[in-house]
Structure 1
Amino acid sequence: MGSEEKGIFLLPKGFKAGGLHCGIKRKRHDLGYIVSEVPAVAAGVYTTNSFQAAPLAVTQRSIAIENKIQALIVNSGNANACTGNQGMQDAYEMQQLFAGKLGIGSHLVAVTSTGVIGELLPMDCIRKGIDTILNPEFEGPAEFQKAILTTDTCVKSAAVEININGKTVTISGAAKGSGMVHPNMATMLAFVTTDANIEQAALLSALKDTSNKTFNMITVDGDSSTNDMVLVMANGLAGNEALNEAHLDWLAFADGLKVVCESLAKQIARDGEGATKLVEVKVVGAKSLEDARAVGKTIISSNLVKTAIYGQDANWGRIVAAIGYSGVPVIPENVAVSIGSYPVFANGLPLPFSEEEVKAYLGGTEVDILVDLNQGDAVASAWGCDLTYDYVKINASYRT
């Protein structure tokens, strides 16, 4: 497929990014941008929360005009959600101000916000920030990555390089997400850029398929945000023949996009608020992909499973219970469960295992759970984290 995944936000040809502190937060970066030299084919997937924030409406309407954007402006610290007509006006003003700085049409600018719900944006701060943000001292992928964070403890990024028609194509992404993350597209903010030349319908199809396999298979706390989206920009400057599903190198592109998105998804799960472990649930032997996904997401979403993992308790009964209420018909006597390399349940009965060894395994920073339904050939993986005391502390005082 090309080079291995790189854990950096490696900007493809023709893109630049940056960020600064404009005053929404007390000290940290809170306003960022990505700009392409030319209009880029765009595709997005958005939260299904009924209370969609104003920036999502603005962005969706803008992309619909010609399926392209050339830039995005994003603020953190304030979600501009549940803010009524004023919130919509503020989102459009952000769009227009940045478009004016770039000298491009307003519809070519996407707008994104993340942070506290129900508060109006401090537009004086944002106006000043947009006015100065293109200064070279604020430019750089690292500055952008810092600007999109809220309760995250680290930046999240990934990139791959692939070969299309003998041309090197880069696919790169940066994301934020730590809490209010649950499988229900979208579940966080992710921005993917590529210099691939690709048809918009094919890009949107690839993004939806990839999101279902990656971003829709993670959870931190069971809450879906009002603001979140995944946005892809493809500016075509790599110079390859236009990609679509019939192209000989289509699978290389689709696989590259999945590598980037899966890496970002797992980084979000690993950085769950207060989390100490990344948990992967792999479900095999399902009748259908939908069944495999449903079982995996139910287990990874179970607070009882998550707290048991935090407590290093090999309580396989909580895993089995989650399978049973997943809504997927199963034959209990056929189900098998392993924690790491330790089989703990099969044939409807517990298996003997060393409590001490499994406890030691659960003390690590990565935990794998394998479930075999023994009903078919479908396979899916889901990712999440443990649930700790610190999660409660963080969210009990989020606004204070």
Structure 2
Amino acid sequence: MAVNLYIPSESDIHPVAGVQIGAAEAGIRKANHRDLTVFRLAEGSSVAGVFTLNRFRAAPVQVCETHLAAGQGIRALVINTGNANAGTGESGLQAATQTCVELANILDIKPQQVLPFSTGVILEPLPLDRLVAALPQAVADTADNNWFMAAHSIMTTDTQPKIVSRRVALGNNTITITGISKGAGMIRPNMATMLGFLATDAGIAPELLTDMVRSIANLSFNRITVDGDTSTNDSFIVMATGQSAVRIESVSDPLYAPLYKALAEAATELAQKIVRDAEGATKFMTVHVEQAKTPEEALKVAYSVAQSPLVKTAFYASDPNLGRILCAIGYAGIADLDVSGVNLWLGDVMVASQGGRHPNYQEEDGQRVMQQAEIPMRIALGRGEASETVYTCDFSHEYVTINADYRS
């Protein structure tokens, strides 16, 4: 069951001018499920993305990077669920490329103007014939107001759709930002086993958008973890259609900072929703590390704690076996860490100070915090001024069940 995951009503989801979405049932893995989604983008849209660092990068990831680098102007996205088209070698690349060719023929655009995405089971051939047969239906279904449907159609083991939508005043104009994401397990940057699609009707110069999407990903999708596994298909795409009166060409534009902030906040909300709906999750945990020498050092500690199975199972049980947190801090890889300078808070409770149990700490206080659905942790290393935050969840019996049965 998702942890405090807010799902907006359809009336609160704002269409983005220049984006149309449609979906169809291709029967790629399961029947009676919309598993093929198409985005159509207005001519002149800017599109940028970041992708997984897993060396077994899926075929669609490789094709996406090639098509983005070609600079032909992206006009469409095509997303299938149920099959990752990863670990499929040359035939997988051919299937991803042919998917682009088939959709381009329907839309009368170039294949290099299509970005393909896949998510699902790894090491199985993509059923290209079923995908291609459903493309006309997906295109015929395209409409401005299909974001909510798309949030459902890209789900795999997700239990809830993940969607964010807002209108933002920029100067004398108002822009729209709407996005969706999917992901529940095999979550660990860079990136997570996730797909994220964020669109705005603001106009953003292509080179500027490329820099923005990398920075935004580092603040959002690259700050979450469920189980420490980096998947093969992870992709985060930002689309700027330029259909509003706002056009930003450089970071010196006075509207750049508020637009960047709005996009980053929307991406962070989508990323956190992935953790809130993580496989089997019952608790949402924030791990904040401060007083580190560098941001990289802070992230080392944050991820060491956030990914520790012993820490995560203790939180599932609301068992204040909090020495496990100190243990994870200690093996994070900071060779010269002086543990006598480390302090730890769980919510409003100071658990450890100067590297040991705080004199006033009572186990019932720790248990009180651990029984909450939202649990903040704060770790002060006493080494500097850098800080970082990572979002994670607990490990439950259900996580094992879901992943044991994933292919059945």
Give the TM bin, normalised by the shorter chain. over 0.9
- Using structure 1 for the length normalisation, give the TM-score: 0.94
Q: How does 1:2-17 map to 2 (within 5 A)?
A: 7=8, 10-17=14-21
| Equivalent residue for 1:315, pick from 296, 302, 321 | 321
Show the counterpart of 1:347.
Answer: 354
Show the counterpart of 1:397.
Answer: 405
- Using structure 2 for the length normalisation, give the TM-score: 0.92
**Farther off after superposition, 47-56 or 61-70:** 61-70
1:12 deviates by 1.6
Secondary structure of the structure 1 residue equivalent to 2:112: helix
CA distance in 2, matches of 1:251, 1:198: 12
Q: What fraction of aligned residue pairs are identical, expressed as a percent? A: 36
CA distance in 2, matches of 1:86, 1:228: 20
1:141 deviates by 1.2
Amino acid at match of 2:337: V
CA distance in 1, matches of 2:138, 2:155: 17
Amino acid at match of 1:282: H
Question: Structure 1 residues 93, 36: closer, same or farther in 2, change over 3 A?
Answer: same
Amino acid at match of 1:170: T
Question: Structure 1 residues 137, 15: closer, same or farther in 2, change over 3 A?
Answer: closer
1:48 aligns with 2:67: no
Equivalent residue pairs, number: 396
Deviations 1:98-129 (A, max 9, x none): 11221211111110000001111122221221
Amino acid at match of 1:135: A
Contact 1:162 1:168 in 2 (8 A): yes
Q: How does 1:1-400 map to 2 (within 5 A)?
A: 7=8, 10-24=14-28, 25-66=30-71, 68-136=73-141, 140-328=146-334, 329-351=336-358, 352-400=360-408
Deviations 1:352-400 (A, max 9, x none): 3332332232122111111111222222110011011111111111111
CA distance in 1, matches of 2:78, 2:179: 15
CA distance in 2, matches of 1:120, 1:39: 34
Q: Which runs of 5+ in 2 are unaligned?
A: 1-5
CA distance in 1, matches of 2:299, 2:263: 20
Amino acid at match of 1:13: A
Q: Which runs of 5+ in 1 are unaligned?
A: none
1:266 deviates by 0.7
1:18 deviates by 2.4
Deviations 1:167-199 (A, max 9, x none): 212222110000111122354110111111111
Contact 1:186 1:230 in 2 (8 A): no
Contact 2:39 2:142 in 1 (8 A): no
Deviations 1:243-271 (A, max 9, x none): 32111111101111110111011111111
Show the counterpart of 2:3.
Answer: none
Contact 1:298 1:323 in 2 (8 A): yes
Secondary structure of the structure 1 residue equivalent to 2:203: coil
Secondary structure of the structure 2 residue equivalent to 1:369: strand
Amino acid at match of 2:155: L
Contact 1:300 1:382 in 2 (8 A): yes
**Farther off after superposition, 353-362 or 55-64:** 353-362
Contact 1:40 1:69 in 2 (8 A): yes
Deviations 1:138-176 (A, max 9, x none): 871122111111101111111333233422122221100
Secondary structure of the structure 2 residue equivalent to 1:68: coil
Deviations 1:9-61 (A, max 9, x none): 53321211122322112332211121112242111111011111111111111
**Farther off after superposition, 133-142 or 363-372:** 133-142
Amino acid at match of 2:252: A
Query: Over aligned residues, Cα RMSD in angstroms?
Result: 1.8
